[in-house]
């Protein structure tokens, strides 16, 4: 049995193959030995960004996850830091299922004890809050960064850098970028260079955890 097959579920609809494969590409660059298939949920071009869109996405994610399990993948990544449907899907499937939020929270805890988190929403995703427990120092969104399109604007990176610097100055010994859109624009290495503390990229963290899970036996 091939132990290295991974299914990535993208929680936004897209016809753009570059977008569809963007997370797969990041992981393959680091773990070329993994076989990856990516699939996107239908009819949610704006993805998952609040409770309503999260609830809408869960049955779609579950259906794709079940199909992927049938096709023989060894583990599944729900590629969103809100981990939509994670608890339900773990119960329904017999293979490991990882959420990008959970993966990045766990990896952050290996590097820091006072973790600063930033993302797009006003409040921290509850799954991250729960996993980080008393290792969460603070959550802070960036002013003017309300969706992934804002990240792509000319001053997008600068705005997140300001927030990240604030978190470090509050005493964070590790930063967690809790939005997979921040992976797409390669924000973590930039912030790490400027701030000199570890910065967790959620897709790279997910790749690291998934690579462990498919090889651990």
Binding site residues, a copy of itself, CB under 8 A? 30-31, 96, 98, 102-103, 106-107, 109-111, 131, 133-134, 189, 192, 198, 201, 204-205, 207-209, 211-213, 215-217
**Minimum gap (Å) between residue 109 Cβ and a copy of itself:** 6
Nearer to a copy of itself, 108 or 145 (CB): 108
Nearer to a copy of itself, 44 or 183 (CB): 183
Nearer to a copy of itself, 22 or 211 (CB): 211
Q: Which residues contact 150 (CB under 8 A, 6 or more apart)?
A: 120, 144, 156, 159
**Minimum gap (Å) between residue 43 Cβ and a copy of itself:** 30
**Minimum gap (Å) between residue 173 Cβ and a copy of itself:** 9
**Minimum gap (Å) between residue 212 Cβ and a copy of itself:** 3
**Minimum gap (Å) between residue 125 Cβ and a copy of itself:** 16
| Percentages (nearest 5) of helix, strand, coil residues in the chain | 50, 15, 35
Nearer to a copy of itself, 106 or 138 (CB): 106
Nearer to a copy of itself, 40 or 95 (CB): 95
């Amino acid at each position: 049995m091939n132990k290295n097959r991974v299914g990535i579920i993208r929680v936004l609809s897209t016809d753009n193959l570059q977008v569809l494969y963007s997370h797969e590409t990041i992981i393959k660059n680091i773990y070329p030995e993994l076989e990856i298939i990516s699939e996107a949920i239908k009819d949610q071009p704006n993805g998952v960004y609040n409770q309503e869109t999260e609830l809408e996405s869960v049955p779609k994610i579950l259906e794709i996850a079940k199909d992927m399990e049938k096709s023989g993948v060894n583990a599944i990544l729900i590629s969103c830091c809100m981990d939509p449907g994670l608890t339900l899907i773990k119960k329904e499937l017999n293979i490991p299922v990882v959420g990008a939020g959970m993966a990045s929270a766990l990896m952050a805890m290996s590097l820091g004890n006072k973790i600063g988190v930033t993302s797009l929403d006003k409040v921290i995703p509850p799954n991250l809050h729960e996993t980080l427990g008393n290792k969460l120092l603070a959550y802070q969104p960036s002013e003017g960064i309300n969706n992934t399109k804002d990240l792509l604007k000319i001053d997008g990176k600068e705005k997140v850098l300001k927030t990240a610097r604030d978190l470090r100055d509050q005493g964070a010994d590790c930063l967690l970028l809790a939005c997979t859109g921040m992976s797409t624009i390669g924000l973590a290495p930039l912030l790490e260079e400027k701030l000199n503390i570890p910065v967790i990229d959620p897709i790279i963290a997910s790749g690291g955890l998934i690579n462990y899970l498919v090889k651990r036996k």
